[in-house]
Structure 1
Amino acid sequence: MKVTLARKNNDYQFEALGKTNTPVLIDNTSQDDAKGASPMELLLMGVGGCSAIDVIHILKKQRQVITDYKIEVEGARKQIKEAKPFESIHVTIFLEGDIVEAKALKAASLSFEKYCSVSITLEESVAVTYAVVLNGKKL
Structure 2
Amino acid sequence: MEPKPPTTVHLSRRGPSSYEATNARGVRLPIGGEDGFSPVELLLAAVAGCSAVDVDVMTSRRAEPESFAVTASGRKVREGGNHLEDVEVVFRLRFPEGDAGDQARARIAPAVRASAERDCTVSRTVELPTPVTFTID
> Equivalent residue of 2:11, what SS?
strand
Structure 2: gaps of 5 or more residues: 1-6, 130-137
State the AA in 2 paired with 1:15. E
- RMSD across aligned positions (CA): 1.7
Instruction: Output the TM-score relative to the length of structure 1.
Output: 0.76
State the Cα distance separating 1:47 from its structure 2 match: 0.2
State the 4+ residue runs in structure 1 displaced beyond 2 angstroms: 98-102
Moved more, 110-119 or 14-23: 14-23
**Counterpart-to-counterpart distance in 2, 1:44 and 1:21:** 22
State the AA in 1 paired with 2:21. A
**Counterpart-to-counterpart distance in 1, 2:25 and 2:82:** 31
* Aligned match of 1:95: 93
State the Cα distance separating 1:12 from its structure 2 match: 1.2
* Aligned match of 1:51: 51
> Equivalent residue of 2:79, what SS?
coil
**Counterpart-to-counterpart distance in 2, 1:20 and 1:41:** 22
State the AA in 2 paired with 1:74. S
Query: CA offsets, 1:18-59, max 9 Å, x none?
Result: 13322111115xxxxx22111111000000000110001111
State the AA in 1 paired with 2:84. F
**Counterpart-to-counterpart distance in 2, 1:96 and 1:19:** 34
**Counterpart-to-counterpart distance in 2, 1:26 and 1:75:** 19
Moved more, 108-117 or 71-80: 71-80
* Aligned match of 1:18: 23
* Greater fraction helix: 2
**Counterpart-to-counterpart distance in 1, 2:68 and 2:75:** 24
Structure 1: gaps of 5 or more residues: 29-33, 126-139
**Counterpart-to-counterpart distance in 2, 1:50 and 1:80:** 28
State the Cα distance separating 1:77 from its structure 2 match: 2.3
Which residue of the other structure, out of 104, 107, 113, is the alignment partner of 1:109? Answer: 113
Identical residues among aligned pairs (%): 29
Query: CA offsets, 1:41-98, max 9 Å, x none?
Result: 100000000011000111133x2321221111110222135x4201221011111223
* Aligned match of 2:123: 119
State the AA in 2 paired with 1:120. R
